[in-house]
Structure 1
Amino acid sequence: MKLSIGLAYFSISILTIFSFLIPKKKKYDLIIFPYAQKGSNGYTVRISCYFEYLEKDNIKYYVCDIFSESYILKELSKNKSSHYFLYQQIIWKRICQILKAKNYKSAFVQRGLFPYYPDYKNASLEKLLRRLNSNITIDFWDSVWCHSNSKLLKITTENCDKISVVNNYIKEYFDKFSTKKIIFPIGIDFSKYKVKSSYSTKGKITLFYTGLPGNVEHFLNVMKNILKRLNDFINFKLIIVSRARYLIHGIDIEYHDFDESTFFEIMANSDIGIYAVEDNDEMRGKMAMKVLDYMSSGLPCIATPIGITPYAVNMENIYFATSEQEWIDLLILLSENEKLRKNIGINGRNTVEKNHSIRNSYILFKKIINEPS
């Protein structure tokens, strides 16, 4: 298996050396290389949400899909030989896709061209793409340097014209490279959200959180002492939408499996959305989709001020908590003040409508891909 990947690297080197012999006819507009694959959130909010707009604008585009996210995760759950068979399929497929780039005016690459392969170090695919296309944007929406080789990132940025990022923290990391940086916020499809219509409470205050099992575990580790102390002041229930089933003694936690037909209603019917994470490099580079979910539903939110939309303003459309005591004080404040919950919730919804609509995000996306190198 490794021999096949080595042969692919050799083929890439030959193609790169003789790329000047490959005829380049820019007949089409945009070629897109997803890192996250079909079925994943990263594919939806960063790639496929723009398809209908591209089609309406008669922009001729091609998406270089590899496999579905479910297939890739299934293969990665098997033994090591299955992993290498998957990597072998990915690299040969990507070589063929990159050769198509010679016919496109612009290329949009999500993170990198060899997804999932842990030993990728020399950015050979990015170098080949550079020879075939002269207007390349590479998009980052988290702290990839926490999991990637810094040398690989440097070489990658040297082989593109623009870097798009979701927040200032990621931009600051890439500022050490000379490539042009553009902040490109995530677009949200508001049509699927149920907007909160009432801010009055019904008995217990309901706190809301959603996430994958690993995220739920980290969240509860951060919030455990806060929730126990909060029990002395207010009567509350924590609603969590997740496959996880972690419990905290003495805390009323109600779990729901994720189901899109009920998720948005459960969220909108809650009283306060909460987002709590540890302060580290990885979390600072994320874009907290949970917070965008809360705001999109008009749900007032208290959050750790890390990895949040750059349009969040403390005490205007969100509340930031940086210590246990602040968390407790703010949870008590919001739980006892319906007017404040309503103001924060409505302001949050207005903020995301203005700054995170898919339409506005697409306008910026089109500007990025059309901007000359």
Structure 2
Amino acid sequence: MKVLYLTKYTSAGASSRMRSFQYFPYLENSDLKISVSTFFNDRYLETLYNGNKNSMLILKAYLKRFFVLFTVFRYDRVVIEYEIFPYFPAWIEKFLSKLGIKYIVDYDDAIFHNYDLNANKWIKKLLGNKIDQVMKFSSVVVAGNQYLAKRAKIAGAKKIIIIPTVIDLKEYKTKRDYESKKFRIGWIGSPSTYKYVENIKKGLTAFANQRDAEIVIVGAFTQHKSEPPFVFVPWQKHTETQWIRSFDVGLMPLDDTPWSRGKCSFKLIQYMAAGIPVIASPVGMNKEVVTERNGFLANSSEEWYNSLSEYAENVSLRKKHGVEGRKIVEKKYALQVTAEAWKQLLMNNGNI
């Protein structure tokens, strides 16, 4: 069976890497022949992470995707990440549906809010229900969490399956030594999501200075320079898990907005996979992932401070929560668990 994946990014883009590319070896072992066509290339991602946008690269992306659409009839399945053309009506998705192309569409973010909550009134007016239409015309919507699944249901999606964003257990060794000379607070993400850390930066700085702790930020390197107690390091695939394993606690602050409620708590899952206890804002899926077994939910500055203090002062609690977090990931948030759901979905012999 031949499957075409229309992803937004190459494997260098976190969403495409975790929602699509990491599954390919498993799917191909199930007699599925995978072809992939990305929308944006690596060069576009490099300019984006440096705070720029290249209009020529964007134009080339649209042209490339347009010509790829002429090949969809060669495949038994078509999987679309988010949408076919960003900031363009759902005409193509509707057309494919009318032609009998039973496409599957996958979401790990509330990208519908790019349109229905856009500050530009014309985008909001013309494209406000664009993603609802993409969901409606699809044969299956794969949602990363309940918030996204609820939107698909409201949109009138025919079938909805929840598959969280997960990690490959083989890539995550667990923390062994929970004793540390210097308490290390960690965060990993992209430059665009570092804004959530900045919302609690003042409190983090005060805590770190009082406790002689350090705060390691992985992934926002292009925009910031290290200055105690903050250490900024670039994201690199081959060092990602090493940095996470070096943390004494992993953070996932969020603001309580519609966009944030659609996030799939992937940072938390990464920390937990490495045996790291977590502290997170009680927003969206975070409230499902974080329990009293593996971390703390913190809403106010006082709660963030108290949670950090608990971990700084109690090594055994760090270890207990870290070990329990890993168990949760092994049970619910591992590629080795969810790959089977994707395989069954794609091999369902047209009954979708």
- Give the TM-score, by structure 1 length: 0.80
Matched with 1:15 is: none
Say which of 252, 266, 277 aligns to 1:275: 252
Matched with 2:133 is: 155
Matched with 1:108 is: 79
Distance of aligned partners of 1:260 and 1:332 in 2 relative to their CA distance in 1, 3 Å threshold: same
Correspondences of 1:15-164 after superposition (within 5 Å): 28-66=1-39, 68-71=41-44, 74=47, 77=52, 80=55, 82=56, 86-87=58-59, 89-115=60-86, 118=87, 120-121=88-89, 123-148=90-115, 149-164=127-142
Distance of aligned partners of 1:111 and 1:262 in 2 relative to their CA distance in 1, 3 Å threshold: closer
Distance of aligned partners of 1:78 and 1:271 in 2 relative to their CA distance in 1, 3 Å threshold: closer
Matched with 1:228 is: 206
| Aligned sequence identity (%) | 24
Deviation at 1:98, TM superposition (A): 2.6
Please tell me whether the aligned partners of residues 102 and 132 of structure 1 are also in contact (alpha carbons under 8 angstroms).
no
Deviation at 1:257, TM superposition (A): 3.0
Count of residue correspondences: 334
Please tell me whether the aligned partners of residues 137 and 369 of structure 1 are also in contact (alpha carbons under 8 angstroms).
no
Runs of 4+ more than 6 Å apart: none
Q: Which runs of 5+ in 1 are unaligned?
A: 1-27
For residues 301 and 54 of structure 2, the distance between their equivalents in structure 1, rounded to whole angstroms, comes to 43
Distance of aligned partners of 1:138 and 1:330 in 2 relative to their CA distance in 1, 3 Å threshold: same
Deviation at 1:217, TM superposition (A): 4.1
For residues 137 and 78 of structure 1, the distance between their equivalents in structure 2, rounded to whole angstroms, comes to 29
Q: Which amino acid aligns with 1:156?
A: V
Distance of aligned partners of 1:144 and 1:339 in 2 relative to their CA distance in 1, 3 Å threshold: same
Deviation at 1:252, TM superposition (A): 1.9
Matched with 1:241 is: 218
Distance of aligned partners of 1:312 and 1:130 in 2 relative to their CA distance in 1, 3 Å threshold: same
Query: Which sits farther off after the overlay, 155-164 or 294-303?
Result: 155-164
For residues 301 and 57 of structure 1, the distance between their equivalents in structure 2, rounded to whole angstroms, comes to 35
Please tell me whether the aligned partners of residues 236 and 252 of structure 1 are also in contact (alpha carbons under 8 angstroms).
yes
For residues 249 and 65 of structure 2, the distance between their equivalents in structure 1, rounded to whole angstroms, comes to 45
Deviation at 1:297, TM superposition (A): 0.8
Q: Which runs of 5+ in 2 are unaligned?
A: 116-126
For residues 128 and 72 of structure 1, the distance between their equivalents in structure 2, rounded to whole angstroms, comes to 29
Matched with 2:145 is: 167
Deviation at 1:96, TM superposition (A): 3.5
Deviation at 1:348, TM superposition (A): 0.8
Q: Which amino acid aligns with 1:356?
A: Y
Deviation at 1:166, TM superposition (A): 0.5
Distance of aligned partners of 1:63 and 1:133 in 2 relative to their CA distance in 1, 3 Å threshold: farther
User: Is 1:366 matched up with 2:343?
Assistant: yes
**SS across alignment from 2:4:** strand
- Give the TM-score, by structure 2 length: 0.85
For residues 77 and 226 of structure 1, the distance between their equivalents in structure 2, rounded to whole angstroms, comes to 29
RMSD of aligned C-alpha atoms? 2.6
Matched with 2:276 is: 299
Please tell me whether the aligned partners of residues 165 and 184 of structure 1 are also in contact (alpha carbons under 8 angstroms).
yes
Please tell me whether the aligned partners of residues 39 and 62 of structure 2 are also in contact (alpha carbons under 8 angstroms).
no
Matched with 1:12 is: none
Please tell me whether the aligned partners of residues 44 and 54 of structure 2 are also in contact (alpha carbons under 8 angstroms).
no
**SS across alignment from 1:144:** coil
Say which of 263, 267, 271 aligns to 1:286: 263
Greater C-alpha Rg: 1
Distance of aligned partners of 1:217 and 1:193 in 2 relative to their CA distance in 1, 3 Å threshold: same
Matched with 1:195 is: 174
Please tell me whether the aligned partners of residues 37 and 65 of structure 1 are also in contact (alpha carbons under 8 angstroms).
yes
Please tell me whether the aligned partners of residues 195 and 268 of structure 1 are also in contact (alpha carbons under 8 angstroms).
yes
